[in-house]
Amino acid sequence: MPDIPTNEPAQLRLGDTWQWRREDLAGDYPAPTWTLTYRFKNAAGGFEIIASADGSNFAVNVTAATTAAYASGAGTYAWVAQVSHGDGRKFTVDNGSLDVLPNLFSGSATAASDQRTHSEKALDAIKAVIEGRASRDQEEYTIAGRSLKRTPIADLLKLLNFYETRVAAERNAEAIRNGRGVGGHIQVRM
């Protein structure tokens, strides 16, 4: 069995069991005198997790069936951790964000699923526009009193560079998370 993290993971997957511990709160907010609650929110919705007491520490253990049923789905979530006492006191003790990945075991194994990030989708769309424009040389034209103005190629190339940089950064971050090195050069000025 893998080690259980002692803080909130940066990435979780729907349909998996989620586990982590908070041992750093026991001094000021010991369980079970205090309760630790997490709230996760994004534009699609949110969910709440209440940690269990594990001695004076807190343990999070969310079943795979529960995470598979989170209706707000995959995406980046902001989260906040709050401790509360039976006398009404409440304190925010931590916050952050994490990525919730889709459950690839839902539906059939042969069903399609677009796992590209926003940056990857935007980059592909920009490339398609540039490729489609290669055979057209007009940026603006009018037909029957209606005008159409296309984005100038220079602006598309700026967007292309921006999204290529973002996609490369996302892929490097994923490689690091997965324990793979990221190629690069170290330059030294003498």
pLDDT tens per residue, range 57-97: 999 999 999 999 998 888 999 999 999 999 999 999 999 99
Tokens of 111: 């069903």
- Cis peptide leading into residue 9 (ω within 30°): no
| Residue 105 CA from chain centroid, whole number | 19
Query: Which pLDDT belongs to residue 41?
Result: 96
Q: Where are the domains of the chain?
A: 11-101, 118-177
Element (H, E) at 94: strand 90-101
Residue pLDDT, tens place only, 32-62:
999 999 999 999 999 999 999 999 999 999 9
State residue 171 phi and psi, 5-degree precision: -70, -35
Query: Which pLDDT belongs to residue 146?
Result: 83
Ramachandran class of 75: left when φ > 0, alpha when ψ lies in -120 to 50, beta otherwise: left
CA 133, 137, 143, 148 torsion: positive or negative? positive
Domain 11-101: which CATH class? mainly beta
Interatomic CA distance for residues 69 and 136, integer angstroms: 48
2 or 6: whose pLDDT is higher?
6
| Residue 2 CA from chain centroid, whole number | 23
Query: Which pLDDT belongs to residue 184?
Result: 62
Residue pLDDT, tens place only, 125-184:
989 888 877 656 556 667 778 877 778 888 889 999 999 999 898 888 888 877 777 766
